[in-house]
A and B are shown apart, each in its own frame.
Chain A
Amino acid sequence: VTASPKLSGAVRIAQALPALAALNLHGLTQGRYLMAVPAALALIAGLARGWAPVFTENRVIVVAAAGALVGVGLGFAIPVPVGPMPELLQSALCGVLVPLSVYAALAGRRVYAWLFCWLLAILSMRADATPLATVSLVALCLATLFAAALAQGERLQLGRAALLGFAVLLPTIVAGTWAVERGVDASQGTLINLVGGTLDALGTRLKAEFELPKQLYLGSSGTVPDSKRALFELDGAIPSHLRGVVLDRFDGRQWTTSPELEQQVLDLGSLTAPSKTRETTALFYASLGERLPSPAGVRRVAGTTVKVRGGWVLGAADLRGLTVTFKADEARQLPPESSPGVMLIALPPELKGSLRPIAERIVKDAATPRAKAEAIERYLQDNFTYSLRADLTGREHPLVVMLKERRPAYCSYFASAMAALLRALDVPARLVGGFVSEEPNPITKKSVIRARDAHAWVEVWLEEEGRYVAFDPTPAASRDQALGVQRGVGNAIWEAIGAAFSAFFAAFRRAPGEVMQRLLLSPYLWGLIAALILWRAVARTRLARRVKQRAALEGADLALREVYASYLRLLRRRAQIAPAPTDTDDAILERIGRARGAAAKDAAARFVQSYREARYRRAPWRPESFASSLEDLARALAQA
């Protein structure tokens, strides 16, 4: 059997299947049929005609350069969906990989072909999981498995054993894929924090800061990233909302913070201390830009220096690893503010004209601003569904489309809709960005705030109270469902472990010496070390005993051991002599002599003699000589 570069046509086709599947996937998800279809046709034609171009470095460079040019050209004509890298770079990379996959597949360089096509598929994955895209991806996976399992040799492995193996492999991998997907999804935040923390410790800056947006744009469509990356944990009296940014200016499409609010500086010390306060502690795993998310009604902050801006928004720099304590008014009410100007009821006339009838229909006969706000909040919560993707394309303003057609959307749209509806009724309202807290972990009693918990809600000016009051119109139940928030015991344990890791990394980065000192003085660490030492000592004693028992066999040649095993098998089958582990060779020979006579004993003795020579004196031996000895013994046993 020799390696042959000549492969059968069926094997070539099977090995090219992943490339074809990847081209199909790329065309489908990126809408780049202009490149994928000709490439696939060229591959099919090449396979049909038996083209086998020579694979050289120079040609690879030429093909890659041509592909990059076409890719960039197509990038201008057909923009690729949002990817992990700049659009033009992704276009160029995809352009390089398409022709290279075809070239390598035709040239018979299967490893390159498979690698190029898988990289192409991965770069094309920033797309919607439509049924067609999912089917195409599954086809790529199947083609990959088929090529790997059945097209390894010179011809297709279509024997019974190979097909049976493939039949076992397929469901195993399906189950494995499901399990890995679920596991990774459940532990996403922990994994990202772990990788990011490790890389950070190594001095890289892969994990960027998380920052709340300073403005909010309302497009006709949008997606909210479902990132489980843990940002900070809350302990103590956990508030439902943490304010990070106030957006009071709305031009019909975009919410921003007005310069007046941005430049205003407030002082927490000027506030009167409330009779009853609630204390909340936050440990930050990551930096959050210049924002310090805080509960409403904060009176005192310990653990960092804060700046208070207009709208009672707190700011602090470099939060990672810090523990910050908030003391807030028990009622979590915002401190009084001066009466807002007309800016808080400003709305483009067209939008106001479209929204006012809807708003009036919702609020009906509500008289006070509070009643109107509560009515709109309830209406949005009860009649809408939360979705991570908002598609509000239509002839009218996205908010009008959403309200009229009751389309699903996410928090920014619900909050914007409520604020705009209130403004349409001349009730001053502003948008607030921050985080919403999840239920505390039943084990740690702490709540971990993740990137996906970034949220937007509304603060309404109530003249009678002289301050802003928060309203959250987002449908909470369907939000939890869309985000896949899980509340099981297993999930709680997993989250607790992840939070402990994240806290450790954050604290380590802030003060490595202190953490190490605490670790070294921890009784748990020394208990663990003692347990490990004990376990090793016990294991070594057991191992030493086992090694002594096996020492006689370990040194033997593998083939020689097999010969001796054949001898013992022969005795067991032909003479029903099953030697015990403690029986010596001489004792076995005696038993053979007694059971089958002298001739059999002599034949066995000859075998044992030659075996001992080979085993203990390292005498050269040949399998044939032992085979003939064993045949003699078998004959002697049969004649006895």
Chain B
Amino acid sequence: MAQRRWSFWMSPLEHRSLRLLDDWHRALLAPMGRVLLWSALAAGFLLLPGFVPLLLFCFAFTLAALACGLVLGIAFWPKVTLSRRLPPPASAGEIMSYPVLVENLGRRVARQIAVEERALPPELRPVGEAPVIERLAPGESAQVTLRVTCTRRGAFELKALQGASLFPAGLFKIPRKTRARERVIVYPRFERLERFEVPLGRNYQPGGLPIASKVGESCEFFGTREWREGDLPRDIHWISFARTGRLIVREFQEEYFVRLALVLDVEARSRQDEERLEKALSVAAAIADVLARQEYIVDIFAAGPQVFRFQAGRAIAHFENILEILACLEPGDRLDMEALEAALLPEAPRLSAVVLLMMDWDEARANLIRQLKDHGVAVRVLCLNPKRRPTGLDPEELVELA
């Protein structure tokens, strides 16, 4: 996932250095340890103008407690291994729960083992406090459930799992880390749409065999005829050629089925644009969900500075694959309209309809719609910029969000 655009309002944890500090601070200090650390700093600061006996006592106690907690914590360093079992991907805004198996490989009883993820990306936030296993005998295993809130879509990496004993002081955590790197995909947040009306027309799909799956709509042998210039050599019917001495080719029944394009404009120049893009991706996921339940082929065009094209539906790719693609799309600084036209317009004759999710509305975009309509393709346009309303479209071509 690309680094997010800087904003005054962004969460402090989105800054790499602060996140690193926060990670160390939380990973090495138990809740009371963190409190005592901040208290020691506050007391030390207030001691600078001059010593006050009670304040000095506070400072000394907090420092001494932290130092003793550290020394005693080292003595009870647990020897554990940890492994996680990740669940199916969650959507943004959901809580992902997964079990973690903890095994004590040491010769001593491990006490008060707090299990948590380390170096989580800012988009994944732990829910509540780390679960604690109170006692784990040598060789014994236990399972805890970790819960993580997925705040944004994307592909993230869980870098390390940590098991640390809080025993005996409950101030320091001397961690045992397992570098079990695993990839987590968080789908865009989406609400299920009951239906999404698109004009359905079946178009001729040359070369449909590789992309279609069901018998009946795929190529069926129809008959043979004389060779004509331009025919493919692979279609030569060699048996007839041997029998007649003339080039005979096979004829197939061509296939016709519904093929739709979903064009995603990923141009985002500001933080607000990025928020709108997230919304667009949620809408795209919901539309893709409706379409994927039908027997349609869906072409997804992600258009920014470059244009990426994916094909899904029928047997090609499942809805999960579409969501994975949507999860990993990154915003771009500009929309390269020429590249989009070069990718989309040649496909227009084979497309039944095009659904366009536009981040903005301008003449170049309007021109693209016109060209698509000239090819006889039905269009449905959703503009996510509330300040711009698409013009030159029929009311049924304009999609409004409820």
Contacts and interface: CB of A to CB of B under 8 A. Distances in A.
B55 A122 contact: yes
A127 B54 CA distance: 7
Given A126-B52, A192-B48, A196-B48, A169 B34 contact: no
A122 B42 contact: yes
B143 A227 contact: no
Given A152-B112, A559-B81, A2 B145 contact: yes
B221 interface: no
A133 B53 CA distance: 11
B169 to A, nearest CB: 5
Interface in B198-225: none
A202 to B, nearest CB: 15
A84 B130 contact: no
Nearest to B129: A3
Contact of A118 (B36, B48, B112): B36
A633 interface: no
Interface string A159-180: 0011001101100110111111
Contacts, number: 170
A562 interface: yes
A528 interface: no
A141 B171 CA distance: 13
A354 interface: no
B50 A129 contact: no
Residues of A contacting B: mostly: helix
B39 A169 contact: no
B169 A149 contact: yes
A206 B49 CA distance: 9
Contacts of A172: 68, 71-72
A520 interface: no
A118 B171 CA distance: 15
B233 interface: no
Interface stretch (B56-64, B250-258, B259-267, B369-377): B56-64
B82 to A, nearest CB: 12
Contacts of A118: 35-36, 38-39, 42, 62
B50 A3 contact: no
Contacts of B144: 1-3
A125 B109 CA distance: 41
B390 interface: no
Size bracket of the A interface: 35 or more
Contacts of A277: none
Given A1-B142, A559-B105, A177 B81 contact: no
A129 B35 CA distance: 24
B32 A148 contact: yes
Contacts of B130: 3
A188 B44 CA distance: 11
B137 to A, nearest CB: 12
A152 B54 contact: no
Given A119-B39, A122-B39, A558-B81, A129 B54 contact: yes
Interface in B78-125: 81, 105, 109, 111-112
A137 B167 contact: no
Contacts of A207: 48
Nearest to B144: A1
Contact of B56 (A127, A175, A185): A185
B170 A125 contact: no
Contact of B31 (A114, A125, A227, A558): A114
Given A122-B43, A122-B55, A161-B111, A141 B30 contact: no
17 contacts: A1-B132, A111-B31, A111-B35, A114-B32, A119-B38, A134-B54, A137-B54, A141-B61, A148-B30, A157-B134, A165-B72, A169-B168, A176-B63, A177-B61, A195-B48, A196-B48, A558-B81
Given A121-B39, A125-B52, A177-B61, 17 more contacts: A2-B131, A3-B128, A84-B46, A118-B42, A119-B39, A126-B55, A129-B57, A148-B169, A153-B112, A169-B168, A175-B64, A176-B64, A184-B56, A185-B51, A185-B56, A226-B50, A228-B51
What 8 pairs across the A-B complex have the smallest Cβ distances? A165-B168, A176-B64, A3-B131, A148-B32, A148-B170, A181-B60, A180-B60, A125-B55
Interface of B: 30-36, 38-39, 42-43, 46, 48-65, 67-68, 71-72, 81, 105, 109, 111-112, 128-134, 142-145, 147, 166-171
